[in-house]
Each structure stands twice: as structure tokens, then as C-alpha cells.
């Protein structure tokens, strides 16, 4: 069979992801962690990892398990490892968060939760890496979008290896003396590999395939696509490998940082040209809500770059790094994630429910599962809250931030409710909702019958 | 079998295939130009050559089965052979006027 099939556990990854997203947004509304508390406080660590591992990484893993086979036109290898991977990730993250709670003093226990999390998470990510890595390896030579994913997965490995080291330090297995250098010199590498490599570079790669597909835009590889890959890869290599080596040899990482910064800017500029090209040259003039709302995420990406340049130029980076990270995590990555979930969840639900009777019974369209006119305002509210939150962080106004966080929470909850309604086929007219032969999709568990 | 009944049967199959909707674009596979060929190869046997909008599409297996089922319910068809090909790859230009109109395909060109 040419092509791929439905990924059995992608919906379960997505479900876990949105639960952690809602939880993180509730924490922000409640004033838990940054900015109400210090950036290095355990409460902030709990919040950051709820977002980065719980929401963004689970989302990305679930999406890649479905889309890597599409990118390489090959079936997923060793699919049997996916469920153990998910269970390890969920158990590992829960344990890590419990460990952070222990550091806050809220949880008094002798169980070494940080250590357990620091062991289970690498196993979970390792299994995902194995499955996706083998699928990519079997498909060489890789098309360009898949090469982005390959670099992103390499960065994931670097991120969780450094994260595991941190977990060992925080659990006291490695001496505090090492920790001082580790925090100031290696934490930026951990964050850059995670946000820049694993999450951003992978998302860019997948977008090169999905945007033309959704908008019927020309999908032939262009020179700018390759420049984005090369310059982005050089930027990531400079930060992950070059900076530590330069620091060991010369005591600073200035040259590697400059190379990384310039390369990243080249990549972003070229990616901007490509995005403009896709939207400008799309054949499908009536684009769907996911493609419209993604524009907000792309705008947030470029706002982040502008903010970074401004903070560096004014020497205020250290004061406002939190605002920048918030804009990247909730504007670019979460904005794109929610936008694409709005397309992918109904698509997978439709295939699960109506795929088996297609050609035998009349079926509704995928678009009938959602009501775009009703849902568009939620995305507007989300991005409005995001912008307000960024301004609040720049203005050091934690109470204003909580109000704007409530806006993003409300919008996110509404979008998630719409996704649940899509899973239940709520918006499909009752008379045609379940033609004979269809199976009602489970909320997040896979159907027994699968193509 | 003379050419006319063959053509008529093939047309009936094409009509039946309009029941099959591409889940991504929400239009039927015939109007989208995903059906490359419908030919009655012998009495009661039809061959359908089809593609999907993108290679590796997760819906490909469903679409191929659906095309087989939709063709099979046409009176006079006893066996259906469905071939899935990506040569040539599908392009949006293969859509007919109905699908183009629904997706807003022609609006920009018409406005020029």
C-alpha cells in the first residue's frame, strides 16, 4: 500500500497535550509561577515544563506520528512502541512535576520524583525518536520537509539529555557546584535546542508540506526553502555544539552566538518569503479557519524575532526574556498548534467514522464537523490575550498578565470544547450523523477497526 | 460488448463515484479530477485508475476502498479493479469547474 494510515495513538497524545495546556493556563491565571514568582522558582519550572513537555512536546509527538509517514510516503515503523512511549511520557512528566512540587515544599515525600521523571521522560522520548527515526532512515533520501524533522528530532535528543542532567542535579545526585555553571551556560542551550530546534524547526518543516496541501499552493522546492534548512541547521549546530566547545576553549561563546543569531535571522527572513509565497500563490482562495488563524501564529513568530532584536539592542534581554519566551511558546507555537488541531482533529475523526462507509453511504463533509463562523472569534480572542499578556510582561504588570491569561484560557477552553464536539459529531445533522456501518469514534482511544 | 454500452456503463460508474468525497477538500473525487480513468475492460468488469491529492495521504486506503464500493453498486458491474497511481501527480488544475468554483479556485484568475 502506498502511503500511510491513521496513527492509532495520535488522538491520545493530543488529548494529553490539551489537558496540560488548560492546566498551565489555569496556573497562569491563578498567578502560579512567573511572572508573579521568580523565573528560577520551582513553581516556574513546574509551569514551564507543563507547557513545554506536557502541551507542546506531546502535541508535536502526536502530530509527527501521523505526519512523518505522510512526509516520507512510508508506513510508521515499530508502531507497537508508541503506546509505551506515551505512557512513559505521561508518567515521567507527572513525576517531574511532582518533583518540582516537592521543591516548592507543597509535597513532602521521600520518593525521588525528579529522578524518576528524569529517567522515564528520556525513555518515552527515546521510543518516539526510535519510531520516527527508523521511519525517516528507511525513507532516505529524505524530502526537504522530512529533513527539517530529522534536525528537529536530533535537537529533541539534545534537549532531553540536557534535561535529564538537570533533573539529576536538582535531585542532588550531582554536586551543586556544577549547577552554577550549568544554569548560566547550559540552560540557554537546553532552551534553544528545545524551543528553536525541536519545536520551531520541526514545525517549520511540517508547515512546508501542510500549508501547500491545505491551501493548494505550489509545493515545488524553492531555493529559499533550502536556505531556511541550511541556515537554521547552522544556527542550531552553533548553539548546541559550537557554544559549549568555544566556552571550554576560550571562556566565552561570543562567536558561536553571533553565528547562531545571524544564521537564525537569515532562516527567518527566507521562511517569511516562503510563507508569503504560499499565501499569495494559493489556488484555494476560500481558505479554512486553520489557515487563517495560523497567520496569527506566524505574526507572533516575527514579533518574537523583532522583540529579541530590540531587547538585545537595548541591553534589556535579561529583564524581559520571560516576555520573549511567552510570545514564542504561546504566540508562535501554541497559536500554530491550536490552529492546526482545528483542522487535524475533525479530519482524523471523519476518517475514523465515515472512512469505512465511504462509497457505500452518503457522508457529510469534514467541514460539516465544525462551525467556522462560530469558532473564528475564539482565535481572535486568543491572539488578543496573547498580545496583551506579552505587553503585561514587558511592563512588569503581573496582575494585568493574569487578566490577559484568563482571555487566552477562555479562548483555549472554547476551542477545546469545539474539538470535543467535533469528536462527538455534534455539529453533523442527526439524520446523517451515523449512517449504518459507522462506528462512533472514541474521544481519544483508538478505534478497534483501523485501516 | 460494443463501444456505446461500455461508454454508458463507464459514465454510470463515474456518476456513482461522485458519492465519494475527498475528506481534505470536501469535494467529490470525480470533480476534483482524482479519477484518471474509468474503463470497462470486459463484461461486468471495470477498471478505475485513481490518485489522491497528495502522496502518502492517510485517507488513501479509505478512498481506494470507497471508489471500489461505489463503482461496484452500479448495475451491470460484477468486479471492480482499482489502481492507485501518483504518475502523473495530481495538481489543482485537474479539478473541474464545479470543484474550482466551490474552492474559490477561479476567482482570482477571473478577476484579472
Cβ-defined contact of B62 to A356 (cutoff 8 Å):
yes
Residue B24: the pLDDT is 84
Nearest to A442 by CA among A64, A10, A86: A10
Predicted pLDDT of residue A437: 82
CA distance A310 to A210: 32
B95-111 pLDDT, tens digit each: 999 888 888 875 554 33
Q: What pLDDT sits at residue B56?
A: 80
Task: Report B:32-51 residues touching A (Cβ under 8 A).
Answer: none
A184: contact with B, CB 8 A cutoff: no
Interfacial A residues in 351-370 facing B (CB < 8 Å): 351, 354-356, 358-360, 362-363, 365-367
DSSP β-bridge partners for residue B83: B49
- Average pLDDT per 10 consecutive residues for chain A, totaling 451 residues: 72 97 98 88 95 98 95 93 98 96 90 92 97 96 96 96 83 65 78 96 96 90 96 97 88 91 97 97 91 98 97 93 96 98 94 88 89 97 98 96 98 97 94 85 72 48
For residue A71, give how far its alpha carbon lies from the nearest alpha carbon of chain B (Å). Answer: 7
**CA A399 distance to own-chain centroid:** 27
> Cβ of A358 and B65 within 8 Å?
yes
Residues of chain B positioned with their CB less than 8 A from the CB of A348: 58
Q: Is B47 helix (H, G, I), strand (E, B) or coil?
A: strand
Ranges of residues in chain B with a pLDDT under 50 are 109-112
Please give the residue of chain B at the shortest CA–CA distance from A368. B26
Residue A72's Cβ-side half-sphere holds a number of Cα atoms within 13 Å equal to: 25
Give dist(CA B24, CA B56) in Å, integer: 13
Global confidence as pTM:
0.93
The verdict on a CB contact (< 8 Å) between A359 and B57 is no
Give dist(CA A349, CA A341) in Å, integer: 12
Task: Give counts: helices (H), strands (E), chain B.
Answer: 4, 3
CA dihedral A81, A22, A326, A191 (to 10 degrees): -20
Q: Alpha carbon A321 to chain centroid distance?
A: 19
Which segments of A172-331 does DSSP mark as H helices, in order? 176-181, 187-191, 202-215, 223-237, 243-250, 254-280, 289-314, 317-326
ipTM: 0.83
* Closest listed residue to residue A196, CA positions, set A150, A225, A233, A241: A233
> Which region holds residue A78: left if phi is over 0, alpha if psi is between -120 and 50, else beta?
left
A196: its cell numbers: 528553536
Q: Which residues of B touch A356 (CB under 8 A)?
A: 62
Q: Of the candidates A283, A286, A359, which has its C-beta nearest B20's C-beta?
A: A359
- Quote the CA–CA distance of B10 and B29 in Å, as a whole number: 15
- Percent of chain A topping pLDDT 70: 96
Cα separation, A264 vs A262, in Å, equals 5
Tell me the C-alpha distance between A42 and A49, whole Å.
11
pLDDT in the model for residue A171? 75
What is the rounded distance in angstroms from the CA atom of residue A267 to the CA atom of residue A225? 9
CB atoms B24 and A1 under 8 Å: no
| CB pair distance less than 8 Å for A351 and B53 | no
Res B3: pLDDT: 57
Average pLDDT, chain A: 92
Amino acid at each position: 500500500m502506498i502511503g500511510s494510515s491513521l496513527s492509532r495513538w495520535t488522538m491520545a497524545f493530543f488529548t494529553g497535550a490539551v489537558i496540560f495546556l488548560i492546566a498551565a493556563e489555569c496556573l497562569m491565571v491563578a498567578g502560579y509561577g512567573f511572572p508573579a514568582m521568580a523565573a528560577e522558582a520551582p513553581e516556574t519550572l513546574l509551569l514551564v515544563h507543563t507547557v513545554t513537555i506536557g502541551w507542546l512536546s506531546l502535541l508535536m509527538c502526536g502530530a509527527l506520528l501521523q505526519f512523518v509517514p505522510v512526509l516520507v510516503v512510508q508506513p510508521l515503523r515499530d508502531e507497537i512502541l508508541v503506546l509505551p512511549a506515551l505512557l512513559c511520557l505521561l508518567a515521567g512528566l507527572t513525576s517531574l512535576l511532582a518533583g518540582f512540587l516537592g521543591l516548592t515544599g507543597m509535597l513532602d515525600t521521600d520518593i525521588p520524583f525528579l529522578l524518576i521523571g528524569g529517567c522515564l521522560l528520556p525513555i518515552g522520548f527515546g521510543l518516539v525518536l526510535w519510531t520516527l527515526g527508523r521511519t525517516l532512515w528507511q525513507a532516505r533520501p529524505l524530502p526537504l520537509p522530512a529533513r527539517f524533522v530529522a534536525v528537529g528530532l536530533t535537537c529533541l535528543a539534545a534537549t532531553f539529555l540536557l534535561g535529564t542532567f538537570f533533573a539529576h542535579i536538582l535531585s542532588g545526585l550531582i554536586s551543586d557546584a556544577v549547577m552554577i555553571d550549568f544554569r548560566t551556560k547550559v540552560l540557554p542551550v537546553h532552551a534553544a535546542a528545545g524551543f528553536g530546534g525541536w519545536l520551531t524547526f520541526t514545525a517549520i518543516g511540517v508547515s512546508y508540506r501542510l500549508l501547500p496541501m491545505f491551501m493548494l499552493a505550489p509545493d515545488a522546492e524553492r531555493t529559499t526553502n533550502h536556505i531556511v534548512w541550511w541556515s537554521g541547521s547552522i544556527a542550531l549546530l552553533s548553539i548546541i555544539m559550537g557554544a559549549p566547545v568555544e566556552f571550554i576553549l576560550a571562556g566565552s561563546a561570543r562567536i558561536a552566538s553571533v553565528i547562531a543569531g545571524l544564521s537564525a535571522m537569515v532562516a527567518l527572513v527566507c521562511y517569511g518569503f516562503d510563507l508569503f509565497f504560499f499565501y499569495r500563490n494559493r489556488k484555494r482562495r476560500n481558505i479554512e479557519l486553520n489557515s487563517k488563524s495560523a497567520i496569527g501564529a506566524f505574526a507572533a513568530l516575527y514579533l518574537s524575532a523583532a522583540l529579541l532584536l530590540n531587547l538585545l539592542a537595548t541591553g534589556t534581554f535579561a529583564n524581559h526574556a520571560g516576555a520573549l519566551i511567552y510570545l514564542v511558546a504561546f504566540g508562535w507555537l501554541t497559536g500554530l498548534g491550536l490552529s492546526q488541531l482545528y483542522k487535524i482533529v475533525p479530519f482524523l475523526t471523519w476518517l475514523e467514522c465515515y472512512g469505512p462507509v465511504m462509497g457505500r453511504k452518503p457522508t457529510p463533509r469534514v467541514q460539516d464537523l465544525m462551525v467556522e463562523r462560530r469558532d473564528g472569534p475564539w482565535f481572535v480572542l486568543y491572539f488578543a490575550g496573547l498580545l496583551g499578556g506579552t505587553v503585561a510582561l514587558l511592563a512588569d504588570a503581573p496582575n494585568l498578565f493574569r487578566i490577559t491569561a484568563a482571555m487566552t484560557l477562555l479562548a483555549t477552553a472554547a476551542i477545546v470544547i469545539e474539538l470535543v464536539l467535533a469528536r462527538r459529531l455534534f455539529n453533523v445533522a442527526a439524520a446523517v450523523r451515523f449512517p449504518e456501518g459507522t462506528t462512533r469514534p472514541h474521544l481519544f482511544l483508538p478505534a478497534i477497526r483501523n485501516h | 460488448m460494443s463501444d456505446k454500452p461500455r461508454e454508458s456503463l463507464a459514465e454510470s460508474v463515474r456518476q456513482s463515484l461522485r458519492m465519494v468525497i475527498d475528506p481534505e477538500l470536501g469535494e467529490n473525487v470525480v470533480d476534483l479530477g482524482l479519477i484518471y480513468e474509468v474503463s470497462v475492460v470486459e463484461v461486468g468488469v471495470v477498471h478505475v485508475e485513481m490518485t489522491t491529492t497528495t502522496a502518502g495521504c492517510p485517507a488513501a486506503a479509505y478512498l481506494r476502498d470507497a471508489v471500489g464500493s461505489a463503482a461496484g453498486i452500479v448495475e451491470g458491474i460484477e468486479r471492480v479493479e482499482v489502481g492507485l497511481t501518483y504518475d502523473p501527480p495530481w495538481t489543482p488544475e485537474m479539478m473541474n469547474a464545479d470543484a474550482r468554483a466551490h474552492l474559490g479556485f477561479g476567482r482570482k484568475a477571473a478577476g484579472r
